[in-house]
Structures are given as structure tokens and as C-alpha cells.
Amino acid sequence: MKLQRIFLLFILFFIFSIYSSDINSQWIQNAGLFAGNVQFILRSNSTNIYAGTTSSGLYKSTNGGENWTKLSLIGSSSNVKVVVSNASIVFAGLNTNGVQRSIDDGATWIQTDLNNKSVYSLTRSNTNQYAGTNTGVYMSTNTGLNWVSIGLSSDIIYSLEWEFSKLFAGTSNGMWISSNDGTTWTGAGLSGKYIHTIKFAGSIIFAGTKNGIWKSSNYGTNWAQSGLPNDTIFSIGVSLPIMYAATKRGLFISNDNGSTWNPTNLNDREVIAVDGSGAVVYAGGPSGFYRSNDNGMIWSLTGLITPTVTSFISDGTYLFAGTASNGVFKTSDGGANWKQSGLGGKIISDFTVKDFKIYAASTYDGVFFSSNNGSTWNSLGLDDNQLSCIYANSALIFAGDNNTGGVFRSTNNGTNWLPIGLDNIKIFKIAGSGNNVFAATFGNGLFRSTNNGTNWSPVAYFSGNSVMNIYVEDQNIYAGGWNGITSGLFVSSNNGNSWNKINDNIPDAFVKYYSILFIGNINGVLISADGGANWTAANEGFPSQKFINALLINDNSIFAGLDNYSVWKRPLSEVIGIKNISSEIPSEFNLYQNYPNPFNPATKIKFDLPQEVRSQMLDVRLVIYDLLGKEITILVNEKLSPGSYEVNWDASHYSSGIYFYTLTTNGFIETKRMVLIK
């Protein structure tokens, strides 16, 4: 019996060792670009900062916002509206999940009995905790473990402050005040005003409303307008005489106790949260978390950022990511660290590279270029157009407008632009090869030019439909149709004269690696190794919402740009089935027998590539044939460095029988037989 148990444990260990690498193979989110809309900031002490987000939970920084750690709240608590601390206890107010608390600086959390409310505000007195919810005000007398309702149950309490032994509550219909822990409440003015935030500065109360800032010096008996009357004030930061106001138009500063207001340099994007209580000012919103060391003159975007990634490009040294609200980011270490690389606050729709310069198309701000790896950017015009794409060949640059429509062309590297047709037609994407240029459009199909855009003709196959994406590689053209009978992915091998449908999914992103096709869309990433006949999903590790906007293959890895979840990375070897399995360089070519054999449905094929010339890259093809000698799939068709490799072939879509596999490289050809039994 003991021997049986030992044998069973050995078998289980053996199985785990075989499959553990597959279990751990998945997409990994890149550090530095991961969070949701920052909606609340708490500076709990000199070192700890907490940031609550709308969709990604609660984060903590211990070094001024440079680096962040996501805290493990209980359940699916991703929308954190407010955070407050009481000595060593931290409280988090959540949307629909009430209040959770931590007694170890956020390392672990417990759910309090206020567990089924939306909590918009939290504050505390010397002895009690208070929570503003969607059903009034609640109080706890035992450090947040238990809560009781204390009034205003018909109101949503957007803001709470406890000062001068009084509890102030801001609602969608004015201010309320209680001097007896909620036993009774009295109206305190601002009737009809929607109060987002309350802040005390000495004996003065400031209220941020949908109609600007108001202040009272007599506990709410009288109120006076204190600036920004046309703005919704989400948050107020105070360090008198300096004050900060977070608005949709950016962050404003007052140097005279709120009498006059001026925009800071953070004035081109929405700001939801601000903490101005110390020498360093922190601000946050849909575009991330910012820090200023000079009262708002200069801002730096820290590690907690929130981009939707729209596009990628590589110049050979850096990988660049374009975002929907934060401009351009770049990495020089394969995505381990990303830094903002200019054009902050701008929507980047597309990139191209020409003559060692990077060109970026911005949706509302025109074309920019950088000649120093993104350190600085220069405007090239077209800022009156809503640009969706940019494309360059050896001589020309093209840009497409998806608002008023049309294609623009520059013959002098973007210094001047001229419209070249397709007026009033919304352009989604431009791509080409040589003198052939294709334009994908909204509602008007696909257009082709054989003379670099001087003349355009419609591609009949897509007439009257929308084409979202176009990818050109030598003789093959791939088009992503959006609606009607042309919805899905299509390929043409004769310059667009005829087309074959190879997938029903609409490709928002497309990339090709030798013979392997990758598409990305609302369903994640799909891969085909046989020209589109069969497709496999590769979504391990992605969040449940995995809308893919961009794909790029760079340095043996594939990168995916997601809506709201930034950049994800995965080794190519995990998704295309070829792995370098040894650090030793073989002395000769070898093609090994597949294992297992016979097999059902998958088998592994190993081969060796010797090093004949230092730093040599070898052209390698590994092809599967059926019994009649017909080529049925290509497993490898790429340049590989010397080494030992292993390729997985999944034959789930093929029938039982005898198959052959042939390795061809550098004058070496060898064929072996294998048997598929189902």
C-alpha cells in the first residue's frame, strides 16, 4: 500500500512537471501602466499615499507616488470612491460594497457590516467614524466594525467633514449640519447646490459644487461665491494661503485664500482628486497620478497611470506606445519600465517611422515628429483635422481624417501637406507597398491607388461597407471588414482584385510574424499558423475585459495594447509553439523523431541548429505534409539563431493517418514520419 502511494505521488509529480510550464504561460501586464481613473487621494502620513480608482481598485505608494502596489481588497471591489485613515487603521469606501478596513497599512482587509451600500465619503471625529452613502449617513463607535444609520436616509451624501464638534454633510441639494452625531440635522445653506466636496481652512468652510467654489466663515449660515462659477469642483486641496481646485478643465490654484484662481500647468486634462496639504502636491484623474514639487508649476506623471493603448511602434532601440489620453510612452528594456515620452494629454491614434524619425498622428492635434527617440516632439500641422492614421513609404507620408474625411500627403517629411482625394470620406487606416496605397474607410469600403495617392479607385468587393483595418505585406493584403457580408478578416494575393474570407472576427489590431497571423479585438488575441484556415485563442492571463487595440512583435515577444488596461506582453514561444530548449549550441544539424508517436491530438518536434558562422541567423522551415505529399501547415518559417528547438503541433483539426515533417535549413533537409490516431 505504501509503495502504491509513493508510485501515485511520483506519477502526479511527473504530470505536473510536464504541464506546469503551460499552466504558467500567460500574458503579463507591464509594470508602470496599470490602473483605473484616479478619483481619490489620501496622504495618510509622511510616507504612505493611497489612490482610489474607478475600475482597478486601491493602490498604495511609499515613495511619493513613484511606485505603486495594488492592495488586495475583499471580493470584486474595484471602484474605490474614498479612503481615510485613523492612526494605524485605513478605511476604504467602495461602490456597492460598503466599507472595508485594514489595521496593517493595507496589507490585509476585513469587510465591515456596512457591506451593501455605495460609500461616497468618509470622515472621523476623535472617537467615531462616519460614512456618507447612497442612503444617508452612518456612524461607527468601534473603529468601523459596526455601523448604524444616523439620518439623511433619503439623500446621497457626496461629502462629509467633522470639524469644531460638528458634522457637515454635502448632498445633491445643499449642505446639512449636525451637532449631536446625527440625532438632528439642520440645513446649512447652498440649497439646490450639488456639493462634491467640503474642505476646512481654519474657521472657513469651502464647498466645491457644480457651480464653482463657495465659502462660509460662520458654519454655513451665510455663503459667498469664491471663484470658478462655471466649473464643477470635484476636489479641493488646502495649505493656506494656497488652495487647489480639481475640475474638468484641469487643476486651478489660488494664492490668496480662494479670492482669485489661475490655471496650473495641469490645465489640459480632467482632474478629479487633489491633495495640496503639504509641500508636494498630488493630483489624479482619468489620465493618471501627478506630482508637483513647485506649487503646480511643473508636474510629473508617476507610475500610477491609466492609459488606453491605441498604437505601437519600434525604432529598433525603443518601443513606443500611443495612448488615448496620456500621449506617448517608451521603453528600452522590453516593457519592464515605461516612461512618458512627450505629447502629454494628447490622444495618439497612430505611428509611422521614416528616415530614422518617428511620426505620431494625434486625433485632435495634428502630426508630430521626433528625431531624438521621443525626447522632444515638433508639430507638423494638420491640427485642424481629426486624424486616425499615418503611413509612410520611402518617399511620402500619408495621413487620414476620420471626421471631415480625406487623405493628406506630404512630399517633404511633413513640412507641407496637400489633400489628395477621398474628400468627405472618413478614413480609418492607410497602408501600402511601393506605389500601391490602400485606404480603409467608414461606409465607403476600400480604396486603392497605384500611383502614391494621385488617383484612387474603389475596391469593388467592399463597396458600400466599412473597412476598419488594412495590412499590406508584399503580395498579400489583409483587410478587416466591419459590417454586412464583408464583416471579418479577408486576404487578397492579387493587389485587391479578389478576396478570401479567413476569419469572422473583426480585426481591430493585426500583425504577421512570418507565416503566423495574429488578430486582436474585443475577444482578445487569435492566432493562425495555416494562413487563416484554423484559429486559436491566446488569452491566458488577460482581464475579463480584453479589448485589444494594438499588437506588435518585438524582440521575440508580442505586445498587446488594451482598452483601459495598458500594455501586456508575452513571449512568442508561448503562442507560436517554438521554444529554444537549451543554452548549449549543437555541433550538427539534427531532426528528431516526434514525441509522442503515435499521438492524439498534439505532438512535439525537436531539431538542432549548429553554429557554423559566429552570430549567424539561419533560415529555417519546418513543414507538415500529408500522405499524398500535400503541404498542410508550416510550423516554422523564420530566421533562428543556432540552438536546440522544440515545436508543438496541435492536429486537433486533422484526421487520423500518416503525416510527414520536413526540416529545411542552410543546405540541410531531412524528413520523418509520424502517426496521428484519433
Q: Which residue has the higher pLDDT, 129 or 20?
A: 129
Q: What is the DSSP letter of 595?
A: B
Beta strands in 345-454 (DSSP E): 348-354, 357-362, 366-370, 378-379, 387-392, 397-401, 407-410, 418-419, 427-433, 436-441, 446-449
Strands 328-331 and 339-340: antiparallel
The pLDDT assigned to 170 comes to 97
- State the pLDDT confidence band at 546, using cuts at 50, 70 and 90: confident
Higher pLDDT, 76 or 409: 409
Quick check: 482 and 493 in contact, CB under 8 A? no
Looking at residue 609, what DSSP letter applies?
E
Residue 640 banded pLDDT, cuts 50, 70, 90: confident
List the chain domain ranges. Answer: 1-30+508-576, 31-301, 578-676
Q: Is the pLDDT of residue 10 over 90?
A: no
pLDDT digits (tens, 9 = 90+) for 661-670: 999 998 899 9
Same fold, 31-301 and 578-676: no
605 phi/psi in degrees, rounded to 5: -125, 125
For residues 170 and 154, what is the distance between their CA atoms, to the nearest angstrom? 13
* pLDDT digits 0-9 by tens, 217-247: 998 899 999 999 999 999 999 888 899 999 9
Domain 578-676 sits in which CATH superfamily?
Answer: Macroglobulin (MG2) domain (2.60.40.1930)
Q: What is the edge-to-edge ordering of all strands in the sheet holding 357-362? A: 348-354, 357-362, 366-370, 378-379
Mean pLDDT of the chain: 88
The pLDDT of residue 6:
37
Q: For residue 634, which of 556, 529, 546 has the smallest C-alpha distance?
A: 529
CB atoms near residue 371 (< 10 Å): 13
By C-alpha distance, which of 641, 646, 529, 630 is closest to 593? 646
CA 279 to chain centre: 32
Lowest-confidence pick of 63-77, 227-241, 519-533: 63-77
27: Cα separation from own chain's centroid: 13
**Which range, of 82-91, 251-260, 360-369, 640-649, averages the lowest pLDDT?**
82-91
Name the residue among 121, 62, 61 with its Cα closest to residue 92: 121
Q: Binning pLDDT at 50, 70 and 90, where does residue 88 land?
A: confident
* Bridge partners for 552 per DSSP: 559
pLDDT digits (tens, 9 = 90+) for 459-482: 999 999 999 999 998 778 999 998
User: In terms of pLDDT, which residue wins out, 340 or 216?
Assistant: 216
Give per-residue pLDDT as tens, 388-444.
999 999 999 999 999 999 999 999 999 999 999 999 999 999 999 989 999 999 999
Q: Average pLDDT for residues 265-293, to the nearest whole number? A: 87
pLDDT at 663: 96
Between 287 and 375, where is the model more confident?
Answer: 375
Is residue 100 pLDDT above 60, yes or no? yes
Give the whole-number percent of the chain exceeding pLDDT 90: 61
The architecture of the domain spanning 31-301 is 7 Propeller (2.130)
